[in-house]
Amino acid sequence: MRDDPAGGMTTESLDLLVDGASRRVDVAPAKRLSRVLREDLGQTGTKVGCDAGDCGACTVLVDGEAACACLIPVAQVRGCSIETIGGLSEDGQLSPLQSSFLRHGAAQCGICTPGMLMAATALLRQNPAPSREEVEDGLGGVLCRCTGYQAIVDAVLDTRSNQVRPDDPPAMEAVGARAVRRDGVGKVDGTALFADDISPPERTLDLRVVRCPYPAAAVTVGDLDRWQQSVPGLVSALAAPAVPGSNSFGIYPDLKDQPVLVENRARFLGEAAILLVGPQPVLDGIDPSDVPVTFTEVDAVIGIDAARDAEPLHPGMDDNVLIRGRVASGDIKGALRESDVVVSGTWETSFVEHAYIEPEAGWARCTGEGGERRIELFVTTQTPYMDRDEVAHVLGIAPERVRVIPSVVGGGFGGKLDQSVQPLLAVAAWVTGHPVRIAYDRPESMATTTKRHASEIHATFGFATDGTLTAAEIHGDFDTGAYASWGPTVAGRVPVHATGPYKVPAVKATSAAWYTNAPPAGAFRGFGVPQVALGHEALMDEAADRLGIDRLEIRRRNAIAAGDKTPTGQTLEASVGLVACLDALAPRWEEFRNIVAASRRDHGPIRRGVGIGVMWYGCGNTSMSNPSTLWLTLKATGALTLHNGAVDIGQGSYTIMAQIAADAAGLPLSDISQITGDTDLTPDAGKTSASRQTFVSGKAAELAGADLRQSLLRLANAGQEATLRLDGSTVTVTDGEGQRHIDLTTLPADEDGVVLRGVGTFDPPTTPLDADGQGVPYATYAFAAQIALITVDTELGTVKVDRMVAAHDVGRAVNPTLVEGQIHGGIAQGLGLALMEEYLPGRTANLHDYLIPTVGDMPSIECLLIEDPEPHGPFGAKGIGEPALVPTAPAILGAIRDATGVVVGKVPVLPHRLRAAIRAQQSEAAE
Where does this chain bind ligand FES (CB under 6 A)? 107-112, 144-147, 357, 411, 650
Strands 451-452, 352-353: parallel, antiparallel or unpaired by DSSP?
antiparallel
Q: How far is the CB of 551 from ligand FES (least distance, A)?
A: 33
Tell me which residue of 641, 638, 765 sits closest to 699, measured CA to CA. Answer: 765
Separation CA 713–CA 734 (nearest Å): 10
Q: Which is closer to ligand FES, CB of 85 or CB of 532?
A: 85
For residue 817, the minimal CB distance to ligand FES (Å) is 14
Nearer Cβ to ligand FES (146/910): 146
Give φ, ψ of 607 to 5 degrees. Answer: -125, 140
- As to burial, measured by CB atoms within 10 angstroms (0-12 exposed, 13-18 middle, 19+ buried), residue 137 is middle
In the bound complex, what is the minimum distance in angstroms from residue 109's beta carbon to ligand FES?
A: 3
Task: Output 112 or 428, the one with its CB closest to ligand FES.
Answer: 112
Q: Determine the residue type at 64.
A: G
Contacts of 824 by beta carbon, 8 Å cutoff, 6+ apart: 147, 148, 149, 150, 151, 861, 863, 884
Q: Which of 790, 787, 762, 767 is nearest to 777 (CA)?
A: 767
Shortest CB 140 distance to ligand FES, Å: 14
Residue 152 vs 904, nearer CB to ligand FES: 152
Are 858 and 150 in contact, with CB atoms under 8 Å apart?
Answer: yes
Smallest gap from residue 420 Cβ to ligand FES (A) = 18
Is the separation of the CB atoms in 482 and 447 below 8 Å? no
Measured from the CB atom, the residue of 435 and 650 that comes closer to ligand FES is 650
Q: What is the DSSP string of 736-800?
A: TTEEEEEEGGGS---TTSEEEEEEEEE--------TT--S---S-EEEEEEEEEEEEETTTTEEE
Q: How far is the CB of 143 from ligand FES (least distance, A)?
A: 7
**CA–CA dist 492, 635 (Å, integer):** 45
Whole-number minimum distance, CB 668 to ligand FES, in Å?
A: 28
C-alpha to C-alpha distance for 725 and 750, rounded to whole angstroms: 23
Nearest distance, CB of residue 826 and ligand FES, angstroms: 13
Indicate the residue among 150 and 761 with the shorter CB distance to ligand FES: 150
Give the three-class secondary structure for 636.
coil
Q: Which amino acid is at 208?
A: R
The Cα 896–Cα 915 span in angstroms is: 12
**What is the closest distance, in whole angstroms, from the C-beta atom of residue 646 to ligand FES in the complex?**
18
Residue 146 or 274 having the CB closest to ligand FES: 146
CB of residue 57 to ligand FES, shortest distance in Å: 8
Residue 90: Cβ-neighbour burial (10 angstroms; 0-12, 13-18, 19+): exposed
Q: Are 749 and 755 in contact (CB under 8 A)?
A: yes
Shortest Cβ distance from residue 144 to ligand FES (Å)? 3
Q: Using DSSP, state whether 235 is helix, strand or coil.
A: coil
Closest alpha carbon to 457 in 477, 472, 479, 487: 477
Of 109 and 123, the one with the shorter C-beta distance to ligand FES is: 109
Question: How far apart (Å, rounded) are the C-alpha atoms in residues 301 and 313?
Answer: 8
CB nearer to ligand FES: pick between 110 and 620: 110
Nearer to ligand FES, 650 or 873 (CB): 650
Cβ-in-10-Å burial (0-12, 13-18, 19+) of 21 comes to exposed
Question: Per residue in 661-695, is it b (16+ CB within 10 Å) or e — as a string?
Answer: bbbbbbbbbbbbebebbbbeebbbbbbbbbbbbbb
Cα separation, 204 vs 646, in Å, equals 29
Show Cβ contacts of residue 459 under 8 Å, excluding neighbours closer than 6 positions: 344, 345, 346, 347, 472, 473, 474, 475, 498, 532, 535, 536, 539
Smallest gap from Cβ 676 to ligand FES, in A, equals 17
- Beta bridge partners of residue 83, listed in sequence order: 61
CB of residue 147 vs ligand FES: minimum separation in angstroms? 5
Q: Nearer Cβ to ligand FES, position 194 or 351? A: 194
Please, which residue, 413 or 875, has the CB nearer to ligand FES? Answer: 413
Considering the complex, what minimum distance in angstroms separates the CB of residue 868 from ligand FES? 29
783 and 616 in contact (C-beta within 8 Å)?
Answer: yes
Interhelix angle 816-835/888-900, rounded to 10 degrees, is 50
- Cross-strand partners of 345: 459
Q: What are the DSSP calls for 451-482, one per residue?
A: EEPEEEEEEEEEE-TTS-EEEEEEEEEEEEET
Give whichever of 106 and 782 is closer to ligand FES, judged by the CB atom.
106
User: Cβ contacts of residue 837 below 8 Å, gap of 6+?
Assistant: 350, 352, 353, 355, 850, 851, 852, 908
In whole angstroms, how close is the CB of 488 to ligand FES at the nearest point? 29
Closer residue to ligand FES (CB): 112 or 386: 112
**Of the two residues 650 and 832, which places its CB atom closer to ligand FES in the complex?**
650
Strand-strand pairing, 469-481 and 454-463 = antiparallel
CB-nearer residue toward ligand FES: 142 or 886 = 142
Which CB, 88 or 459, lies closer to ligand FES? 88
> Do 375 and 406 form a contact (C-beta atoms < 8 A)?
no
Shortest Å, Cβ 194 to ligand FES = 11
> What whole-number distance in Å separates Cα of residue 340 and Cα of residue 468?
10
Spatial contact of 203 and 435, defined as CB atoms under 8 Å apart:
yes
Give whichever of 43 and 108 is closer to ligand FES, judged by the CB atom: 108
The CB-of-441 to ligand FES minimum distance in angstroms stands at: 18
Q: How far is the CB of 888 from ligand FES (least distance, A)?
A: 18
